[in-house]
Amino acid sequence: MAGSAIPGEAINLQIADLLQEVKFPINKDGLVDLAREAGASNEVLAMFDGLPEQDYADIAAITPLLAGNFGPGLGI
């Protein structure tokens, strides 16, 4: 993630930056690994780790789960 300052970004920006780097399809463990490698905050790691164990075909399969479980929405 060239030039990203993930630790200093707001949660929704961290997630948006991470999801732009994802090569779909991806499963929950892949998302968590990507976030960890990118240096995402513990809160973002916990959000991804709380996702259901399944394969995600695209960003649209992930964002409603994050918005529904962790806040009013991501604004992505």
Put simply, whether the predicted model's pTM sits higher than 0.85 gets the answer no
Rounded CA-CA distance 58/56 in Å is 6
- Determine the structural domain holding residue 42 and report its residue range: 8-70
Q: State how many domains the chain has.
A: 1
Domain contains 76: no
Provide the phi-psi class of 58: left if phi over 0, else alpha when psi is between -120 and 50, else beta: beta
Show the beta-strand stretches assigned E in the chain: 26-27, 55-56
Domain contains 34: yes
Domain contains 14: yes
Rounded CA-CA distance 10/24 in Å is 24
Domain contains 29: yes
Residue 10: predicted pLDDT: 84
Burial of 11 (C-beta count, 10 Å sphere; 0-12/13-18/19+): middle
Domain contains 55: yes
Domain contains 60: yes
From first to last of the 76 residues of the chain, give the pLDDT tens digit.
Answer: 444 445 556 888 889 999 999 999 999 999 999 999 999 999 999 999 999 999 999 999 998 888 655 444 444 4
